[in-house]
Amino acid sequence: MKSSLDYSNKIILAPMVRVGTLPMRLMALSYGADIVYTEEIIDWKLLRAERQINDVLKTVDYVDKTDGCIVFRTCDKEKGKVVLQLGTANAERALLVGRKVQQDIAALDINMGCPKDFSIKGGMGIALLYDLDRAKSILTTLVKHLDIPVTCKIRIMPGIDETIKIVKELETTGISAIAVHGRTKTERPRHPVHADVIREIVKAVGIPVIANGGSQEIHKRSDILKFRDACGAASVMIARAAQWNCSVFRDEGPLPIEEVIHECLRLSVDYDNSPSNTKYCIQMILRDLQETTLGRKFLDSQTLEQICEVWNLGSYCRKKQLEYHNAGIRGRRQACPQSDANPQDENCPSKKIKMLSDEISSDVIEHNISFIRVNYADDKELPKSKLYLYTVKNNIKLPKYEVINKNKLFRAIVKVADGKYSSSFWEKSKKFAEQSAALTCLYHLGIESKEKLIENGSMIG
């Protein structure tokens, strides 16, 4: 049986690339949004991802096994409220994705408004409004075969008649609602939003219209409602105002951004969000404040723990990461770079590892050892520091590192005396790769014991 989602009177977090990840969505819900959209996710990314239950975080993860990246992470707290926005130009691919993810989302939205080159060249985003047959075939296919509501998000066209004609055509596909960003393809966010055009669309169609584009004038919840009413729309969707201060959804008025940053960090730690994504979201909140002393300290930070430290949440982060690590989070060890020969082949990772391992010469000593940051409270204990001291003490040549970079994954080989050492795992940063190579060397030299490495999760026995 088909599920439904009530699109009347709802305040919605808009889809935003890099911003609409799990911490931001949960924050929006806790501050008063009713429905939250994911960032736009391109169809092939979800097709190639593997659905995994994450028992440690209590999340469902769609993991790209070629680089270990989380393509989509969701949890019970947003069940029935999360809408996944898909970037697609192909009905069959969209349906495969829809079937794969529908158990984890409340609705599927197709992006038909993105004016970026990347989208248009791929026939996605606003290109679909200029290829209505394709747009309709995607929506019709999804509406017919999925058990969840299907919607789309569009921009307006330069002429009002043209816009209404398109929306009416899209309505015939059976979609449950339509989100309208009241700007044309060439208009920029600073240009005024055409609330009058949205109002005309509302009059012309029978499905709920979700008004979008009002952030410039939105500073508090009552402004959100004012924009919705100016458009006469069933619901309203907010992007930038939420990106700047997600507590804009609160009934009681927005909170100071320090509180919002705290909440963002807490959720990022709780849901093991990537440091780069967390950093980006906070940059969007800080905006001009990045120029302050605190802002610069923040910009210098790299790990989640370092980012948290700027707002005095370092020990919370450490404690939580240790807890997760002890509970068995092992995700990144699965990552291996995609083979250039067959980039879509996801069926034989072992083959890929083999091929890439061949680039590491046979005289390199390899062990299944990975560097786990949380094991090292004191920087002096870091494998690279320890190995450095070992060479100094024993009067041998200092360690020399060589790094291999493949599709944004790294392996390092460290040369010490006459030996060359490397971890067999691919890491997501050059620094981690060097640390795991150093750790492999320390193990081989008998400085780190197998028991200790197995106990702290660095080594798979």
Residues making contact with ligand FNR (CB under 6 A): 14-17, 19, 39-40, 85, 111, 113-114, 153, 181, 189, 212-215, 238-241, 243
d(Cα 204, Cα 233) in Å, to the nearest integer? Answer: 12
Q: What residues pair up with 401 in beta bridges, in sequence order?
A: 414
Between the CA of residue 186 and those of 119, 144, 165, 227, 228, what are the distances in Å? 14, 33, 20, 22, 23
Which residue lies nearer to ligand FNR by CB, 243 or 245?
243
Residue 38 CA to residue 16 CA, distance in Å, equals 7
In terms of CB distance, is 280 or 388 closer to ligand FNR? 280
Beta carbon of residue 183, minimum distance to ligand FNR (angstroms, whole number): 7
**Minimum distance of ligand FNR from residue 338's CB (angstroms):** 24
The interaxial angle of helices 275-286 and 22-31, nearest 10 deg, is 50
Q: Is 114 a catalytic residue?
A: yes
Whole-angstrom Cα distance, residue 38 to residue 22? 8
In this structure, the number of other CB atoms found within 10 A of the CB of residue 380 comes to 8
| Residue carrying structure tokens 């008649």 | 161
Percent helix, strand, coil in the chain, to 5, is 45, 20, 35
In contact, 412 and 384? CB cutoff 8 Å = no
Nearest CB to ligand FNR, comparing residues 90 and 339: 90
User: Least distance from C-beta 181 to ligand FNR, angstroms?
Assistant: 4
Instruction: Scan for tokens 């391992």, then name that residue.
Output: 357
| From 114, 152, 246, 336, active-site residue | 114
Query: Quick one: which of 427, 383, 421, 380 has its CA closest to 400?
Result: 421
What's the min distance (Å) between Cβ of 241 and ligand FNR?
Answer: 6
Residue 180 or 265 having the CB closest to ligand FNR: 180
Residue type, 447: I
Closest CB to ligand FNR among 86 and 416? Answer: 86
CB 243 to ligand FNR: min, Å: 6
**DSSP at 14:** P
- As a whole number of Å, the CA-based R_g of the chain is 25
Least distance between ligand FNR and beta carbon 99 (Å): 22
Helical residues (DSSP H) of 205-239, grouped into ranges: 221-231
Q: In the complex, what is the shortest distance from the CB of residue 239 to ligand FNR, in angstroms, rounded to a whole number?
A: 3
Nearest to 335 by CA among 439, 427, 459, 404: 427
> Which of 40, 263 has the CB closer to ligand FNR?
40
**For ligand FNR, the closer CB: 148 or 198:** 198
Measure the CA–CA gap between 299 and 110, rounded to whole angstroms: 34
User: Residues 209, 168: contact at Cβ < 8 Å?
Assistant: no
Catalytic residues: 114
